[in-house]
Amino acid sequence: MAHLTRRRLIAAGGLGGAAILARGGTEAAGQHAHQDAGTDGPVHAGHEGSGHADFRDGRTVDHAANGFDPHELVRDFDWGRTTRMAGGRVLREWELVAIDREIEVAPGVRFAAWTYNGRIPGPTLRCREGERLRITFANASEHPHTIHFHGIHPSDMDGVPGQGAGQIGHGGKTVYEFDALPAGLHLYHCHVRPLAEHIAKGLYGAFIVDPRDGREDADELVMVMNGFDTNFDRANEVYAANTIPFAYMHRPIEVAHGELIRVYVVNVLEYDLINSLHLHGNLFDWYPTGTSPRAAEFTDTVMLCQGQRGIAEWRFSTPGRFMFHAHQSEFTELGWQGFFDVR
């Protein structure tokens, strides 16, 4: 029996093949994909009647059933809640819960995900440089997890097994507490072994530390670049920014021309060594890790390994539709592309 690889999937018509895969199981999918690869017509899932699954044509997932929508996530920053400590310093707190949850990552493709707070990516935690941060982590998942933050903190707050509270089992709870340092764009993710699995299942999110003096006013967006291995062969079948492939093709991100746009870009993609972001019709200032006030580059394409991140800033000077996507064409074809609709 031919094994359905990612490249065969592409030959079979991209995500149509992925839907087949999810519905028919690996072996049947291999057969179908093989048959479909020889036809000129669109790929059909061959299941439940209509079954047209090439959702580049407009089909999408049930965002409401998933419990999160990439069109909302893209501008959703979670500032937690604050109180003042003795001396006046801000204490900022969040509660994160690890939850096992099946989500639809492409039309008809269900994925047994592990999430923080029921969404992928987890909440975009946002704070200001120098504040005290307190994150209460509860594990409602069947598997042990942690939260490992990037940034500066003591070793017992590092969220890795064997240090501090170590891995948190089902029903367990711990508190991570540290100072918000340094200003920049960071991330958090589970750090339990097998690490690739714990990340690829969906346990990650963006973590933004604003500089003490803030940044210039802008229309701010967050894009966590990810993908999903839906058939457990340690290769991704779908790619996206903020989880759902093609979401911003179907419903472009509306922005205003002339306005400063700031995108917090984080790459968490597992199994592929490199990911990238490319913008059409413009170039952007690129601030790697967001830690310096000076842009490192003025470009239209950046490449990032897993954990690498940065801030992109630019203005559109004319209205219209402008694409953004990975500049690995394979990732683009499998979902990692979208549009800005400049009004």
C-alpha distances in Å from residue 302, one per residue of 56, 123, 162, 265, 329: 25, 24, 36, 10, 14
Residues 243-302 that bind Cu ion (CB under 5 A): none
* Residue 145 binds to Cu ion (criterion: CB under 5 A): yes
Minimum distance from residue 145 beta carbon to Cu ion (Å): 3
Determine the number of helices (DSSP H) and then strands (DSSP E) in the chain. 7, 20
The smaller minimum CB distance to Cu ion, of residues 188 and 316, is found at 188
Nearer to Cu ion, 187 or 253 (CB): 187
- Render 5-40 in DSSP notation, one character per residue: -HHHHHHTTTHHHHHHHHHHHHHHHHHHHHHHHT-S
Pairing outcome for strands 125-128 and 204-210: parallel
Contact partners, residue 233, CB within 8 Å, separation at least 6: 3, 5, 6
The C-alpha atoms of residue 155 and residue 264 are separated, in whole angstroms, by 27
Please identify, among the stretches 145-153, 212-220, 223-231, 335-343, the one whose residues bind Cu ion according to the rule CB under 5 A: 145-153
Token pair belonging to 319:
């209205």
The size of the interface with Cu ion (CB under 5 A), counted in residues, is 5
Stretch that binds Cu ion, among 124-132, 192-200, 224-232, 332-340 (CB under 5 A): 192-200
For the bound state, the minimum distance from the C-beta of residue 185 to Cu ion, rounded and expressed in Å, comes to: 22
- The number of C-alpha atoms within 13 Å of 287 and in the hemisphere containing its C-beta is 18
Distance (Å) of CA 110 to CA 106, 286, 330:
7, 35, 22
Q: Which residues contact 153 (CB under 8 A, 6 or more apart)?
A: 176, 178, 179, 181
Per CB under 5 A, 148 contacts Cu ion = no
Q: How far is the CB of 128 from Cu ion (least distance, A)?
A: 28
How far, in Å, CA of 139 to CA of 141, rounded? Answer: 5
- Count how many residues are written for the chain: 343
Binding letters toward Cu ion, positions 150-189, x by CB under 5 A: ----------------------------------------
C-beta closer to Cu ion: residue 203 or 263 = 203
**Binding segment toward Cu ion, per CB under 5 A, in 58-66, 120-128, 199-207, 211-219:** 199-207
State the minimum distance, in angstroms, from the CB of residue 98 to Cu ion. 7
Q: β-pairing, 132-139 with 90-106?
A: parallel
Of 15 and 200, nearer to Cu ion (C-beta) is 200
Position among 44, 128, 198, 309 found at the interface with Cu ion (CB under 5 A): 198
Q: How far is the CB of 104 from Cu ion (least distance, A)?
A: 21
Selected binder of Cu ion within 19, 29, 190, 208 (CB under 5 A): 190
* Least distance between Cu ion and beta carbon 139 (Å): 9
Return the residue of 10, 33, 187, 192 that touches Cu ion, per CB under 5 A: 192
Minimum distance, C-beta of residue 137 to Cu ion, in the bound complex (Å): 11
> Contact positions toward Cu ion, by CB under 5 A?
145, 190, 192, 198, 203
